[in-house]
Structure 1
Amino acid sequence: MIKTYLFISLCSFILTSNAYGIDKRRQIDKLLKKFDSLVQGEFDNYNQVNFEENDFLAKDDKPQKKHARLYKRVVRINAPTLGEHVYYHQIHDAGKNQPAYRKSIEVLSVDDKKQMIIAENYRFKSPEDIKNLWESNKIIDIRYDDLRKVGEQCYTEYQLVGKSFVGSIDQNRCKVHSKKFGYINLRTQEVISESELWHLEEGFLPSGEMLFGREDDIPIKMRRAKNFTCWAALKTDKLKPNGEFYWDLFSNIVLHNQGDIMKISTTEKVPKHYFIRLKETIFPAGDRPDVFEMFIHDKNDSDTKALAYTWTNTEATHLGINLRWMQSACSLIKKAN
């Protein structure tokens, strides 16, 4: 009887342990899948920068130090030499059409006990050789020899809080080599949600004095971008044989809704130059409804002066304008299931 009881108890323990292990793996898979769905995308803080520069907010509500405009794109890449969960980050200063100033790699693992995602951060040794990695669906041959780790113990810890991931690099452990200071301590804070990506990065001297960052601790607040395919037509001064005017047509232009622009010029002897901007305006104060807008600008004028604009609700999938001398329309690019 005793042997039978011990055998049954052992079997029960093994079955329970296996079930626990399977459940734990499912939790980890679910955590990684959720992170994957949120971290990938295009992000831009045009809305934040716009309200720091216009007259909508009261003077006391504007930060003394304005934020720079940033565009960021994050994609998961197939780089098996680095790991299974590898993400490529590319950041542009002043908008998508400007050169990228930072290219980096995150390699993920999971802390089982804390139920945290750990991201090791790397920079490319030769970033100028790296082009848009999202343009390739093939295996990408990136090796650790091509990368340099960002400092010592400078990994990011992500934890799921509600429906968002909150991440940080701890300045007490993260040391980045510095020729001038020996090393600096790096601290970051990040929130990734369904609609936004907030990021704050600060550096400190060994003495604890802030070297760079923001004293007000207001992060860069980037909104998740939606892509639209757009076309525009401009009336020219050239005549057809029947006496009608020729129109210049521009088609299949992809723009996102966070301040992205397309530049267009007529084919006349003296060309006219314009640009079209798509903008999702999310009001940071008051009860005005948020809107999705299209602006038409003379390229020779400042960005603050529009020749015309139109707007609709932020959930709209189409937006267009007809000014007689020009027409334009944009339609949401729907993601494949």
Structure 2
Amino acid sequence: MIRTFVLLALLAAARGAPAAAQPVGGPIEKDLALFLDWFPGRYDNEQQVFWEPELKVPEEERHERIHSIFRPVTAPAFGDHVFYVEQFLDGDPSKIYRQRIYAVSADAGANAVRLKIYTPKKPEALAGAWRDPAPLKALRPSDATTVAGCDVLWRRQANQFLGSIADGACRVKSSRTGEDIVIDDDLVLTDSEIWISDRATTPEGAYVFGNKAGVPHKLKKVRPFECWTAVLRGAKHGDSGEGLDDWQFQRGGLLHDQGGELKLTTDETPARAIRLKLRRVEWPSGPNRPSLTLYVHEGDAKRATSYGWGEADAERLGINLRWLQASCTHAPERLWE
């Protein structure tokens, strides 16, 4: 009798459990939430480009350096989850080669996160909008074009998302030749990297663009750093600096840990050009530990004058060469600058 009473009480309690205790949405909504957490950011494959000559990758199979920016923006006409995308070459924000609007949603029917791609009709008016996305708020789908069959479907597998376009479905006219081409894309997204393998062929299968070895661009998410610097006027590398105390200070310099550069010009006559470069070095082979490395370059020299390093995930890194001092601190609030 007592057991029956306890069982009935437990059943009654279960029926009366508050709705908030129940799962919200299905698996795809959960995947969407994770995708939206991982995807935003700035990514760069500078490290891939840096190592390829060392690894003796044939020149025709090497990758160009690309920087990809995926910034969440408010553009209600495109949906609830919208990104402004800007990609440029060689670490130079003026070398823009692609601008897009991405609309992201959960697609239960496809069991995937769907990414719909829009191309702005007036991309030049949006250049740099990742820094100030206000102009995007009033943008409408009629201000852009989209192509059926070119959506990317992202599906979670273990601790990553795999993205792809349906085979042969994305057909567009080449802006260069005016001929029809077929676009294919395979992607991988983790919480710290995105790999992009976009390529194009003619309808007959002839090569148009893409890495000829089939190796994706391997981009790593960047961390921004803010730096102060001090250059000792009248001193050069190797000097002790003894007896000199005339420093040129600068604050608020900005670079990132995937090959970002901070350029300095002294106020001396003649002026000196100095570059700081920051790289989170990850060795492609061997036992060396990853490290956060700060390089000092003078003029246009490719070889660093000097460098220092610390733990790969360090929050601050400094260097003192007697004639130059610098300290760089992780500044996540400056990501979109």
The normalised TM-score by structure 1 is 0.84
Could you list the per-position Cα deviations for residues 53-85 of structure 1 after superposition, in whole angstroms to 9, with x for gaps in the alignment?
2x3x3x3x6675110001111111100011111
Q: Map of 1:109-188 to 2, 5 A cutoff? A: 109-136=105-132, 140-149=137-146, 151-178=147-174, 180=177, 182-188=179-185
The 1-side partners of 2:285 and 2:67 are apart by: 24
Q: Structure 1 residue 214: deviation in Å? A: 2.4
One-letter amino acid of the structure 1 residue matched with residue 152 of structure 2: T
Change in Cα spacing, 1:248 to 1:144, as seen in structure 2 (3 Å) is same
2:49 match: secondary structure:
helix
| Residues 1:315 and 2:318 aligned together | no
Contact (CA 8 Å) 2:63, 2:211: kept in 1 or not?
A: no
Contact (CA 8 Å) 2:86, 2:130: kept in 1 or not?
A: no
The 2-side partners of 1:268 and 1:335 are apart by: 33
Q: Structure 1 residue 182: deviation in Å? A: 4.5
| Residues 1:218 and 2:210 aligned together | no
Which residue is equivalent to 1:87? 83
Q: Structure 1 residue 137: deviation in Å? A: 6.6
The 2-side partners of 1:261 and 1:112 are apart by: 43
One-letter amino acid of the structure 2 residue matched with residue 84 of structure 1: D
Contact (CA 8 Å) 2:227, 2:251: kept in 1 or not?
A: yes
The 1-side partners of 2:320 and 2:258 are apart by: 22
Q: Map of 1:320-331 to 2, 5 A cutoff? A: 320-331=318-329
One-letter amino acid of the structure 2 residue matched with residue 251 of structure 1: R
- Identity of counterpart residues, as a percentage? 27
Contact (CA 8 Å) 1:171, 1:185: kept in 2 or not?
A: no
Paired residue total = 306
One-letter amino acid of the structure 1 residue matched with residue 162 of structure 2: V
The 1-side partners of 2:152 and 2:64 are apart by: 23
Contact (CA 8 Å) 1:43, 1:73: kept in 2 or not?
A: yes
Which residue is equivalent to 1:199? 196
Contact (CA 8 Å) 1:43, 1:71: kept in 2 or not?
A: yes
One-letter amino acid of the structure 1 residue matched with residue 109 of structure 2: K
Contact (CA 8 Å) 1:181, 1:205: kept in 2 or not?
A: no
Question: Structure 1 stretches of 5 or more lacking a match?
Answer: 1-14
Which residue is equivalent to 2:225? 228
Which residue is equivalent to 1:11? none
Change in Cα spacing, 1:141 to 1:262, as seen in structure 2 (3 Å) is same
Q: Structure 1 residue 183: deviation in Å? A: 1.7
Q: Structure 1 residue 315: deviation in Å? A: 1.8
The normalised TM-score by structure 2 is 0.84
The 1-side partners of 2:300 and 2:133 are apart by: 40
The 2-side partners of 1:207 and 1:265 are apart by: 53
1:237 match: secondary structure:
coil
CA-based RMSD of the aligned residues comes to: 2.4
One-letter amino acid of the structure 1 residue matched with residue 186 of structure 2: Q
One-letter amino acid of the structure 1 residue matched with residue 81 of structure 2: H
